[in-house]
């Protein structure tokens, strides 16, 4: 794991604390999840849910995940054997990659990619093959021919994150069809990271890759409660897949953590069943925050790319006279009292993302407004 030093989030969040800057770097909300769901967690503890739950997860949460997948995507997963509860989506991705890959196998991921992917693939002694997403008409997308060319006889899986962090792209049916066609033709497994499944805007709906023809049987679908319910500290995620795939993932998972924490599982089961109206309100509130931040960043002189989902806005810093996002974000606390994330750290080819900087909008309106006011110093606007 040499070369995987501290993450950019640790560096930038520490910088924010040191300099008293506003932190629009790391993507965690600054308000709490639904109150009744938080109470359920407390109740779970006081009523004795404090010992190891079963390895695959508490039956209540497995049933709630199954119902949720059926209701939202029309997909049926058996809570006994086709669903596994994990310590967040992070563990679900790691255990899936470790379960599916032999040393030397290749896993395709779309860059810029969520930083844990590269580390999980390295732990499996597999190789990450990056297919680059680029802005086309104001939206990051990939070239289907480049994706096709990235497949080799060693390719084992494609890691598909939609809604996509850090670009905010929500893959269209056409994009997903290109991925699905390739998975079927080349006998690949799809590992889908759907943690932002409910956080999409402008009426754009998330499509789960497993719903495409022939894909349910070759998809390891992953999601988590953290983003959906604004409880990123709960680290409660899940895997939905055919039994042989879930068995393989669970075989790894049992020796990583054995099982996930009990109280959160009961509370998340409640959330999935009772709090989706709260989530709908979160989603529309986030859309307003996105618009608020986009408008402010544009007024401050950034070129802004409109995300269709997630917590994040991508900006091009060149109109402000900067060329390197890493250099700018390291100076941003001193220049403007704001912390952001240089997008280039999410690439295997950093030069392709050099001029992009990511800002998070999952923050209180007054925090966004203050950040924008400060950022206007950059251009003297
Ligand atoms: C936040 C995030 C995760 C991590 O989810 P946890 O449930 O906290 O482990 C995984 N993937 C993406 C794309 C994320 O943004």
Whether the Cβ atoms of residue 45 and residue 289 lie closer than 8 Å to each other: no
**259 C-alpha to ligand 1 centroid (Å):** 18
Q: What are phi and psi of 235, to 5 degrees?
A: 50, 60
Burial 105-114 (b: 16+ CB within 10 A, else e): bbbbbbbbbb
Question: What are the residues facing 136 on neighbouring strands?
Answer: 139
Query: Does residue 335 have a pLDDT over 90?
Result: yes
**335 C-alpha to ligand 1 centroid (Å):** 30
Ligand 1 atom closest to the Cα of residue 90 is: 9
* 29 C-beta closer than 6 A to ligand 1: no
| Sequence-ordered strand ranges (E) for the chain | 22-23, 83-86, 106-111, 127-132, 134-136, 139-141, 155-161, 189-193, 219-224, 237-240, 303-305, 312-316, 338-339, 341-342, 356-360
Q: Which of 88, 160, 166 to mutate to test the pocket of ligand 1 (most atoms within 8 A of CB)?
A: 88
Question: What are the residues facing 139 on neighbouring strands?
Answer: 136
In this prediction, residue 15 has a pLDDT band, given cuts at 50, 70 and 90, of: very high
Query: What is the spatial distance between Cα 171 and Cα 142, in angstroms, rounded to a whole number?
Result: 10
Residues with Cβ < 8 Å from 262, sequence gap 6 or more? 44, 49, 50, 51, 52, 53, 58
Q: Is 284 helix (H, G, I), strand (E, B) or coil?
A: helix
User: What does the pLDDT read at residue 381?
Assistant: 60
User: What does the pLDDT read at residue 1?
Assistant: 87
**100 C-alpha to ligand 1 centroid (Å):** 20
User: What does the pLDDT read at residue 8?
Assistant: 87
Whether the Cβ atoms of residue 37 and residue 267 lie closer than 8 Å to each other: yes
Query: What is the spatial distance between Cα 156 and Cα 80, in angstroms, rounded to a whole number?
Result: 26
Query: Does residue 173 have a pLDDT over 70?
Result: yes
Burial 283-320 (b: 16+ CB within 10 A, else e): eeebbebbebbbebbeebbbbbbebbbbbbbbbbbeeb
In this prediction, residue 14 has a pLDDT band, given cuts at 50, 70 and 90, of: very high
pLDDT tens-digit series, residues 120-165: 999 999 999 999 999 999 999 999 999 999 999 999 999 999 999 9
pLDDT tens-digit series, residues 51-60: 999 999 999 9
Q: Is 144 helix (H, G, I), strand (E, B) or coil?
A: helix
Q: Is 64 helix (H, G, I), strand (E, B) or coil?
A: helix
Ligand 1 atom closest to the Cα of residue 92 is: 9
- Parallel, antiparallel, or unpaired: how do β-strands 106-111 and 155-161 relate? parallel
| Closest residue by CA, ligand 1 atom 2 | 195
Ligand 1 atom closest to the Cα of residue 161 is: 13
Average pLDDT, the chain: 97
Query: What is the spatial distance between Cα 222 and Cα 245, in angstroms, rounded to a whole number?
Result: 12
């Amino acid at each position: 794991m040499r070369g995987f030093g501290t993450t950019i989030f640790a560096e930038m969040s520490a910088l924010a604390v040191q300099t008293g800057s506003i932190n629009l770097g790391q993507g965690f909300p600054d308000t709490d999840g639904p109150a009744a769901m938080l109470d359920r967690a407390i109740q779970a503890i006081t009523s004795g849910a404090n010992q190891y739950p079963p390895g695959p997860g508490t039956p209540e949460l497995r049933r709630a995940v199954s119902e949720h997948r059926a209701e939202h995507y029309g997909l049926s997963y058996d809570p006994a054997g086709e669903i596994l509860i994990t310590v967040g989506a992070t563990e679900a991705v790691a255990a899936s990659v470790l379960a599916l890959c032999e040393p030397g196998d290749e896993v395709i991921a779309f860059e810029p990619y969520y930083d844990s992917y590269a580390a999980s693939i390295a732990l499996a002694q597999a190789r990450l093959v990056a297919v680059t997403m680029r802005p086309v008409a104001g939206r990051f997308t990939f070239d289907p021919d480049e994706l096709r060319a990235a497949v080799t006889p060693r390719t084992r899986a494609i890691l598909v994150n939609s809604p996509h962090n850090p670009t905010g792209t929500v893959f269209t049916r056409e994009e997903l069809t290109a991925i699905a066609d390739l998975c079927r033709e080349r006998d690949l497994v799809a590992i889908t990271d759907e943690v932002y499944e409910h956080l999409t805007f402008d009426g754009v709906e998330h499509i789960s890759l497993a719903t495409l023809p022939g894909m349910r049987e070759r998809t390891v679908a992953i999601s988590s409660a953290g983003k959906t319910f604004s409880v990123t500290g709960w680290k409660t995620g899940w895997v939905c897949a055919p039994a042989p795939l879930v068995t393989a993932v669970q075989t790894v998972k049992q020796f990583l953590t054995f099982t996930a924490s009990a109280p959160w599982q009961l509370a998340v089961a409640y959330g999935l069943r009772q709090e989706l109206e709260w989530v709908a309100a979160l989603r529309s509130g986030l859309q307003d925050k996105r618009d608020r931040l986009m408008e402010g960043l544009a007024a401050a002189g950034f070129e802004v790319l409109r995300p269709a989902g997630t917590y994040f806005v991508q900006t091009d810093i060149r109109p402000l006279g900067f060329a390197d996002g890493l250099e700018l974000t390291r100076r941003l606390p001193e220049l403007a009292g704001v912390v952001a994330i240089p997008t280039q750290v999410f690439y295997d080819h950093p030069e392709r993302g050099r001029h992009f900087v990511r800002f998070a909008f999952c923050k209180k309106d007054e925090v966004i407004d203050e950040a924008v006011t400060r950022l206007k110093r950059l251009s003297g606007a």
